[in-house]
Amino acid sequence: MDSTWIRNTFDWCVNILLSAADTIGVTYEALNVWVFVIIVPVVLVISLAVNIYFLWKSGQRKTDFEEKDESFNQNSQYIKTLNI
């Protein structure tokens, strides 16, 4: 299997990190730790929390719609004429 694209991608990413580290005045290793040990895990935890919140809210909204739909069906004169 040809892994040239993997080496090229890795080299490209390392060059970006080296340039960024030089620009902000830290070492490559320090920037690597900040990005991959601190920033990425924090962003992933926040993303997971936001997704869980939205799933919880959508489930809550679904039960609200079901209750409103049931209430509407009981009070609607048109539904009563359909003999459902």
How confident is the model at residue 62, as a pLDDT? Answer: 65
31: how many CB neighbours lie within 10 A of its CB? 18
Domain that holds residue 16: 4-81
3-state secondary structure (DSSP) of residue 2: coil
Quickly state the pLDDT bin for 1 (edges 50, 70, 90): low
Amino acid identity, position 43: V
pLDDT at 72 over 90: no
Q: What is the pTM of this model?
A: 0.61
What is the residue-averaged pLDDT of the chain?
Answer: 84
Dist CA 33 CA 29 (whole Å): 6
The distance from CA 10 to its chain's CA centroid, rounded to whole angstroms, is 25
Q: E strands along the chain, which residues?
A: none
79 and 73 Cβ atoms separated by less than 8 Å: yes
Domains held by the chain: number = 1
